[in-house]
Amino acid sequence: MARIYTLLFFVMAVWGFNLSALVVLVNSIEPITLTAARIFLAGIAVLVITKLLGIFRLPTKNEWKTILIITIFNVAFHHTFLALGLTRTSGVNAGIILGAAPLVTMVLSIIILRDRISRLRALGFLLGFIGILTTSLAGAEGLEAVSIGDLMIFLSMFMQAFSFILISKLNPTFDPRLLTGYMLLVGSVFIFIISCILEGDLTQLTQLFTWKLGSIFLFSAIIATAFGHMIYNFAIKNVGPTETTIFVNLNTLFALLGASLFLGEPIMKNHYIGLVFILVGVFIGSGTVEYLIRKRRLKSR
């Protein structure tokens, strides 16, 4: 369990820094076209890795159906709505909406999986969300009016949260790391079709052959998307969607650090306050506090 949590911490760091990478990339390439190329390369990379690990196999007919359903929510809908939403709303609103992912996942787990969440862990989720609000609103003038972009970001977050529930219900004989490869590869096809309809100019991808953009693109596709999603989906299958999703709050921490280091954006007082809430929320919501309490009680007997 400790090893999985350590890997999740690493994934959140990579995903947080990846936001800065994507900001640089979308300044040169249309977002949906970029997303299709990034996810396609990540899918190929994951399938190659699974072959090297000796876990590669072709899915059965029923498993293909499951993969397709999860892919539609986790990759196609999630990334498409996210790419479109980010061009139609503010970063403040997007950060707050995406920060609600752990809470939405928890509610879906209770409704669909019949999970039981203790009051202490629910408090952890709430504290984490307060931290997201605090850091997202730091230095902002306040929330803007709800826009179509806000709705798209919410749909993106909801689709991904729902896919986490689907992943947890996948046949246990199908390795979630292999699932990741098929999801990314099939999902990139859906997104590519959407990019052709909405954007259409594929020649812009030639800019990825420059040293700077090419390096950033490879980091985003291979490290953040391929390795990140492999580890994350593996964790969902082994520790559950609720426990795993609470780590998403750490995205805000590393996104702020990345923005400061790579984009030169300032970190304000409210950011630090929010980060304390996020870290405490993760510590409580992941079940760590309950585990320590149980361990202490066993020792006292």
Compare 141 and 231 and report the one with higher pLDDT. 231
> What is the percent of the chain with per-residue pLDDT over 90, rounded to a whole number?
29
Compare 114 and 215 and report the one with higher pLDDT. 215
Choice among 52-56, 134-138, 265-269 with the minimum mean pLDDT: 134-138
pLDDT digits (tens, 9 = 90+) for 119-138: 887 888 888 788 777 766 66
pLDDT, position 142: 53
Helices and strands per DSSP (H, E), number in the chain? 15, 0
pLDDT, position 14: 93
CA distance 211 to 232: 29
CA distance 75 to 184: 7
Mean pLDDT of the chain: 83
Choice among 60-64, 137-141, 239-243 with the minimum mean pLDDT: 137-141
Residue 116: is its pLDDT beyond 70?
yes
In the predicted model, what is the mean pLDDT of residues 187-205?
Answer: 91
To the nearest 10 degrees (0 to 180), the angle between helices 228-239 and 31-53 is: 70
pLDDT digits (tens, 9 = 90+) for 140-150: 555 554 568 77
pLDDT digits (tens, 9 = 90+) for 211-228: 999 999 999 999 999 999
* One-letter identity of residue 262: F
Instruction: Name the pLDDT band for 184 (thresholds 50, 70, 90).
Output: very high
Compare 242 and 247 and report the one with higher pLDDT. 247
Q: Indicate the length of the chain as a whole number.
A: 301
Residue 39: is its pLDDT beyond 90?
yes
- Report domain extents, the chain: 2-116+143-240
Q: Is 109 helix (H, G, I), strand (E, B) or coil?
A: helix
Q: Furthest-apart CA pair in the chain: how many Å?
A: 69
